[in-house]
Amino acid sequence: MKRSVALTFAVLMLVFVVGAAGQAQVPAPQRGGTIRVGITQEILNLDPHVATAFSSFQVMDLIYESLLRLNTRTLQIEPNLAQSWTVSPDALTYTFTLRRDATFSDGSTVDASDVKYTIDRILNPNTKSPQASFLAPVNEVTVVNPFVVRFTLKQPTASFLSLLTGPSRGIIPVNFEDKIGDPRVKALGSGPFVLAEFGPGSVRLTRNDRYWRKDAAGNKLPYADAVVYRVIPDPATLRAAVRAGEVDLIIGFGVDITAARALQGAEGLRIMSTPDLTYSLVGINDSKAPFSDVRVRQALSLAVDREQIVQVVYGGRGTVGGPIPPTLEEWKPVPAARLPFYRRDVNRAKQLLQQAGQGSGVAVKMMPIPTVPEAVQLAQVLKEQLAPAGFNVELEQVDFATFLARWRGSNFDTFVSLNGGSIDPDIHLSRHITTGGSTNVFKFSSREIDQLLDQARVSTDSSKRAEMYGRVQRLIAEQVPFLFIAYADLFAVSRTQVQGFVLSSTRTMTPLAETWLSR
């Protein structure tokens, strides 16, 4: 669903790194072959700045490149199309120097005017890019010389570099549409692969021979000749396809704990997992009685047994977490056990409801997002857990478009869904929680939290920022804009001959450039 965009100055847990790396002695990569990837979601649109479906990003990850990228293992910001950058002392001007050897797949050089064209396109209201709100801090992009481009910001924005990563900020050539036609079905980027065929139920990408990146030994990337994405909507069929060797890798929606369990021990398969930045949540309509009373929201939080949810819904493969993902130690995540209202306490929940004048019980409608199977299970478990405290939950099963419409219009009591996380706490939190935030469908508003998040956003001192995020977590736990439930582990399953693929918490497919098939 949502895409994590992100930056970190974080030093991540060792476990995290080892979990993703799968070490041992690495044999020499072999060139050639076609990597077949099975996904469940239909691929609809390949316009990097307009597409919103996760499957679109899975494909565009290999076609489009942004100025910066996240290291798939450490999640550190790294140079990409920009090889270096400087920041002015007032943190309002960022100057990027581009590498000179990057070209689009049509042979033209990626230069500063392309960068300006890209950002202008995203910000142009006619593009109607859902990404525009992320780049709102940008005041202007100017071309200094063909390989130097300068961004000026409206206000200091600590998360700024992370906003320049990922295919949704993918650099496109000047006069993009004139060159290729409709970017929803055609593509032209500087990434390791080019779009060869966009057919019904599948997308074929072939190697971009002009691609600039090389591996540590100086070999040109990518290793594979082609990558094919096959859409297999049914998760059971998807699992059967990887078992039968019809696809080499299955990843994304539908590849969850159920898949990991079903395929555990199957011959010729490798199961990968990593902690996720995406979290499950219970959205609450904070503007509507009785949830407009913070005590009712606190009671709701107290009535939930998050540990049991991790066990029952995620088969123990996940972590109960608060507003900051437990993996992002840099930002001092407060363990859930120490956050107020996070430990189940039915009696206290009842007392709070009593004080709020809701002692006779609260009727709650709960709408799980239909595209995420765990969300429905989670809602069912919640219905049971919430009952003893006096919440009488009625599940509302709606279809995807209805869910979206009601989400957007804040037309719900509560909903169960996932929020795409980010390694930058500002992007992770602000848009959902600050007053008038771009995805604050909860209609939550707290001046204290707004001020703290605003200060943290413009602070360029990362230790001060971390301290502010430490405080804001407790405030969020007390004010309960919505319920953070858990950060479930992310899974992928590959055939054992697939080498070099890294499952990243950012869910990026870019490691496929360095993936090869052993024969």
Partner 1 sequence: MQRYVAQRLVLLIPVMLIISAIVFSLMHLIPGDPAQVLLGFENTDPAQLEAVRRDLGLDRPVYVQYGRWLGKLLRGDLGTSVRTGRPIRTLVAEAFPFTLELATYALVLAILIAVPVGTLAGTTRSKAADGAMQTLTLFGLSLPAFWVGAMLILLFSVELRWFPVLTYPALAEAPLANLRGFFLPALTLAVPNAASIARMVRASLVAVRREEYVKVARAKGLREVVVVRRHMLKNALIPVVTLIGIVAGYLLGGSIVVEQVFAIPGVGRLGLQAIVQRDYPVLQAVVLMVTGLFVLVNLVVDIIYVLLDPRIRYA
Q: Tell me the number of residues near partner 1 by CB under 8 A.
A: 51
Report the residue count for the chain: 519
**In the stretch 134-153, what mask flags binding to partner 1 with x, by CB under 8 A?**
x-------------------
Pick from 374, 314, 310: nearest CA to 337: 310
Q: Is 17 in the site for partner 1 (CB under 8 A)?
A: no
8 Å CB contact between 479 and 440: no
8 Å CB contact between 320 and 284: no
Q: Is 268 in the site for partner 1 (CB under 8 A)?
A: no
8 Å CB contact between 204 and 186: no
How far apart are CB 392 and partner 1 at their closest, in Å? 24
Q: With CB under 8 A as the contact rule, which of the stretches 20-28, 127-135, 278-286, 488-496 interacts with partner 1?
A: 127-135
Q: Is 28 in the site for partner 1 (CB under 8 A)?
A: no
Q: Which of 21, 27, 32, 42 binds partner 1 (CB under 8 A)?
A: 42
How far apart are CB 458 and partner 1 at their closest, in Å? 21
Q: Which of 246, 467 has the CB closer to partner 1?
A: 246
Instruction: Give the residue carrying structure tokens 């929201």.
Output: 297
**Alpha-carbon 374 to chain mean position:** 17
Beta bridge partners, 152, equal 93, 140
Q: Which of 103, 438 has the CB closer to partner 1?
A: 438
Q: Is 404 in the site for partner 1 (CB under 8 A)?
A: yes
> Is the bond preceding 146 in cis, omega lying within 30 degrees of 0?
no
How far apart are CB 335 and partner 1 at their closest, in Å? 28
The tokens describing 65, both together, are 């490149």
How far apart are CB 192 and partner 1 at their closest, in Å? 24
Pick from 457, 317, 421: nearest CA to 374: 317
Q: What is the Cα–Cα distance from 161 to 466, expressed in whole angstroms?
A: 17
C-alpha separations of 418 from 167, 279, 313 in Å: 21, 5, 14
Q: Which of 233, 335, 361, 388 binds partner 1 (CB under 8 A)?
A: 233
How far apart are CB 168 and partner 1 at their closest, in Å? 9
Question: What is the sign, positive or negative, of the torsion defined by CA atoms of 424, 274, 498, 197?
Answer: negative
8 Å CB contact between 446 and 480: no
Q: Which of 49, 116 has the CB closer to partner 1?
A: 49
Which residues have CB under 8 Å from 419's CB, separation 6+? Answer: 2, 278, 279, 281, 432
Pick from 368, 370, 352: nearest CA to 485: 368
Considering only residues 54 through 73, tell me which ones interact with partner 1, judged by CB under 8 A: none
Q: Is 204 in the site for partner 1 (CB under 8 A)?
A: no
Q: Which of 47, 61 has the CB closer to partner 1?
A: 47
Q: Is 95 in the site for partner 1 (CB under 8 A)?
A: no
How far apart are CB 234 and partner 1 at their closest, in Å? 5
8 Å CB contact between 387 and 344: no
C-alpha separations of 102 from 192, 489, 513 in Å: 11, 35, 15
Backbone angles phi, psi at 6, to 5 degrees: -175, 165
Q: Is 234 in the site for partner 1 (CB under 8 A)?
A: yes
Q: With CB under 8 A as the contact rule, which of the stretches 101-109, 221-229, 230-238, 452-460 interacts with partner 1?
A: 230-238
The tokens describing 484, both together, are 């953070």
Q: With CB under 8 A as the contact rule, which of the stretches 275-283, 374-382, 402-410, 444-452 interacts with partner 1?
A: 402-410
Q: Which of 44, 289 has the CB closer to partner 1?
A: 44
Q: Is 131 in the site for partner 1 (CB under 8 A)?
A: yes
Packing angle, helices 447-458 and 425-433, rounded to 10: 150
Instruction: Give the residue carrying structure tokens 């392309």.
Output: 114
> Is the bond preceding 167 in cis, omega lying within 30 degrees of 0?
no
- Write out the H or E segment, with its range, that includes residue 60: helix 54-60
Q: With CB under 8 A as the contact rule, which of the stretches 72-80, 126-134, 216-224, 289-297 interacts with partner 1?
A: 126-134
How far apart are CB 410 and partner 1 at their closest, in Å? 8
Q: Which of 33, 333 has the CB closer to partner 1?
A: 33
How far apart are CB 325 and partner 1 at their closest, in Å? 18
Q: Is 1 in the site for partner 1 (CB under 8 A)?
A: yes
Q: Which of 101, 394 has the CB closer to partner 1?
A: 394
Q: Which of 151, 403 has the CB closer to partner 1?
A: 403
Q: What is the Cα–Cα distance from 56 to 60, expressed in whole angstroms?
A: 6
Q: Is 287 in the site for partner 1 (CB under 8 A)?
A: no
Q: Is 401 in the site for partner 1 (CB under 8 A)?
A: yes
How far apart are CB 240 and partner 1 at their closest, in Å? 5
Which residue ranges make up the site for partner 1 (CB under 8 A)? 1-2, 42, 44-45, 50, 52-53, 125, 128, 130-134, 182, 184-185, 199-202, 230-234, 236-237, 240-241, 243-244, 246, 398-408, 420, 431, 438-441
